[in-house]
Each structure stands twice: as C-alpha cells, then as structure tokens.
Structure 1
Amino acid sequence: MPKYPLAGRTVLVTGAAGGIGSACAHALRARGANLALLGRDLASLTALARTLGEDRALPLGADVTDRTAVEEAVARTVDRFGGLDVVFANAGVAPTRPATIATTEEADFERIIEVNLMGTWRTVRAALPHVVSGRGHILVNCSVYAYLNGAANAAYAASKAAVEQLVRALRVEWGRCGATAGVLYPGWVETGLSRVAFGGDRLATRMRETAFPALLAGAVRPEAVADRVVDGIERRAAGITVPRRWQPVGVLRGVINPLVDRRLIRDTRLQSLLRALEGAGPAEDAPTHDVTPAAGRSPGPSAAVSRP
C-alpha cells in the first residue's frame, strides 16, 4: 500500500506511561505525529507530555477496563486535535509470577483477560468510527505469546492469541473502506513486565532459560521496538515482529508448534519446574542467572508492554 506518513497525524497510545508505550511516543513524535497518551498513571503521562511538547501531546488518565473512560479519552483527543488517525492499543498486564492453570488465582486470570483482551476491544470500539472515516490504522501489541505455548503463563498467552484474531477480523472487515489494522509481535523486551523472567522470580527465570533456545531467550530494548513500530505504521504493515529472529517461528507455527509442545512435554527439567510451581516437589537443576539484567526499567503494569 502507499506509504502512510505520520507527520500531522494524531495517534492515540494506550499504556503510554513507560516501556514500549513511552518509547513509541518518542519515536512517533519524532515523525511529526500529534499524541494522545492514555494510561493509569496521569503524573507520568503529564511528565512525558512535557518532554514531548505539550502543544502536541495530550496526557489522558484512564484505565482501559473502563469503557466510559476510554470513550471520553477518544472524544478529548478528537476535540484537541480535530481527529484521530492511528491507535496503538498497547496497554496490557502480565502475571507477577508464573502459575499453572491448576494453581492460577481466578481473579488474576480474569484480570489479565480483562485488560489485555477486553481493554483492547474497548479501545478499538471507541476509536473505530474516527479511524475508519479517516482511513487510518490500528496497531495492537500482541506478543509472540500469541503463538507460543502458554505453559505457566496461560492467561497471558490466551489473551494475546485472542487479540491476534481480533485484528485479523478487523483487517478483513475494514478492507473495503481503506482503513487497516496490524499486529505487533514483540519477543522479550526490557520492561517492568519482563522482570519476573529475568531474575525477578527464580522459577520464572529458570523456565525461560530452559524452554527457550539462547537465540530467543534474550531481551531487546523498548527503543528497538519503537523504531520498528513507527516504520510498520507508515507501511500499514499487517505484522511487525521484534526482534526479527522470531519471524520464522511465527511463519512456521503450524509446523513448529506441535514439535515444540512434544519437546516441552518430554523435557524433564521443565516438567520438574512445573511440578515445583504446583508444590509437588523441588525443581531439578536448570541453568539460571541470579543477577537481573537490564530488564525492569519501566515500572508498573501501566507500562503495558510485553513479555513475549
């Protein structure tokens, strides 16, 4: 499709207070976009807006689980900038520690679905008339967990798989009117949400190192994601994978996933870690690091990025 330049466009970013959201706000502003910054931490959003330029950035304190608040935020964006062209539905939460389906607290499971899936749906629904009328673009932060096995992380994986299907439907439904939709598939990213798997929780860290090959187990900085996001929006890309080394896994998921599931079932180290999660025995030795790397620079769930 023809290039979709961001200069002069208005972009709503949810989960904008930190992590991927904040990094993308800086990258979008550098391309000349007006920004509506939505999140729960209004103080952080206000500080970010000052950094970006208050004449071109509007902080909006709202929770994506509140339909009325999201609708009001969209209305304020349109009033301030005269329209809404692009939405980056980035808000999301992840478990603070791993848990199997048998041991996950019901409230924790439902909270993740409520924010990651229903929050995205509310954001898209509120913005839909404006984006469609302007033939704009919606990008949803989906994560590679949309197609990875969600063992010990099922609620998060389920929410991301559901969001991917939401975007696929949007892409077809909007095809006739010129509006577009895309999915962002980040791998591990250095944010507050990924801290649990990089030293924040010993079992989670050991599971990441056991289940993922070294090539895929490392994290990238949010700024690397942001660079790909702005390029992807301007290309109206259907999918953006960061880092690119995850792309073969996504493309070949139909072949790879059954093989991976079989390997994980037979992996004695991983199965030992899962038993330990359920209190059924100690974890067998598996490689681990006790020092947390650069992960965790962005505090709180409103950073709304992605573990994979």
Structure 2
Amino acid sequence: MSTITTQDGTNLFYKDWGPRDAQPIVFHHGWPLSSDDWDNQMLWFLEQGYRVIAHDRRGHGRSDQTDTGNDMDTYAQDVVELARALDLKNAVHIGHSTGGGEVARYAARAEAGRIAKAVLIGAVPPVMVASEANPDGIPLEVFDGFRAALVANRAQFFLDVPSGPFFGFNRDGAEVSQGQIQNWWRQGMMGGAKAQYDSIKAFSETNFTEDLKALTIPVLLLHGEDDQIVPIENSAHKAIGLLQNGRLITYPGLSHAPFATHPELVNADLLAFVQE
C-alpha cells in the first residue's frame, strides 16, 4: 500500500494513478468513508488523461486509526503534507460533505502553486450546527444523536444512514442500490470508531466562513436540492455568497451524494469546470 507518514507520525493511505506529468485531481471523501467512495470519478478522470489521487483521512479506511488529531485543522495539514510529498502542482481538489470542508480549509492554507481550483459537493461549509450566529442551522441535538447511535451500535447505524437519507433511498420511487448501501457500510466499518466519533464535531461545528472568504481561486459548488444530510439552504446557498470566484450548480430532486447516484451528470460538470 502507498502511504505517507505525517509530522505527528500518522500513516496515511493514498492512491495515485495516472501520468505523473498530467494535471492532478485530488478527491476528498465524506464521513465516515474512505477514498474508495470516489472509484467512479477516479477511473473516469483517469480515462480522460488526468492524474488522480485520493487519500483515506486519518482514522478512516486504511489510514492509522488515530485517537487524536481528528479535527479540521489537522485534516487540512495532512493534505498540505500529502501535496508536498507528491509534489502536486496546479491541482484541482474535489471534496464531498466533510471532504468539502477539508478542501475549503486546505485551499485557504495551501502552499503557493499547489492548487488551481476547488469543487465542493454536498459540502458542509460554511457551518452546519445551529447557534446564535447561525440560527437556521441544524440543532446540536441532531449531532448528539449521531454520536449516541455510533456508540450504541455503529454497525447498524452505518446501515441505516445509506439505506435512508444519504442516497435518498427513503424517498418514494427511489431506485435503491443494495451494492451502494453495502459498500458504504464496508467503508465505514474499516475506519476507527474514535476518529469517526470525533469527526462528527469536526464536520458539524467547524466554521469555514473565513476560509471561503479567503479563496481567490475558482470554486464550484455542486449540491443536490433534496440533500437530507447537508440541507442546501444552510450550506451551498450561504457559501456561494462568501466566495470571491464561485459558481453554484444544483440538482433538482437529487440527494446528498449526486456524484454516486448520478455520476454521468456530475462527471460532466466536473470535467467542464476542470477544463475551463
């Protein structure tokens, strides 16, 4: 397996496919998954001639099951170190959900010349949790419920989420894929429970407002209008107003993971943005 070791001694698994002199596209997965969630996009962009890279976030997938550092600042620093180790230049970083938050924070801190564009899909920025400053956010009790479900029966929780709201399989007329449900469960159960528990706070309470404001690179926001996990009104609709060079594309009726359920739509929009 390909790994790098971060400054704090954490081993991070990554995939790196394609010509080393091609433009890199780096994929950042959602919670509680792994780089395997991007199989379709990685294979598709590889066919288009790009260099494609994805890592398992610390505590997730095949990376070390860390009990510390499961926060957005550390996640972003891990990407800084990955980009440096692979000498990535002019890269496009694409993140889903929690991975979208990771991309936003990384992009605001990236070393000069390493990032050209960013894409946030169903992403958590600017901030999910409700507060006085974000009164229409999601109540903290919802995320406390996530934590309680993870502790009580992680295996069942990791079946319930993909079987229902994540892919929109709980909607009338939805075309349910048992393969996607089982693959989601497989990826989730590969990771460490402690890291996944801590990451709930990271994705729900981190405020990315200043990160978004700081970005001068082109940023594409893609969001399903029927996203039940990261509602569009509290995320993309707010994030677009904070970006200096942003564009928003929404998908009517689609879920939190449109790149997984409708890759033909999302891949075309991604390629058009990358090629601009």
TM-score by length of 2: 0.40
Indicate the structure with greater strand content: 2
Larger Rg: 1
Indicate the structure with greater helix content: 1
Q: Which has the higher contact order (CA 8 A, sep 6+)?
A: 1
TM-score by length of 1: 0.37
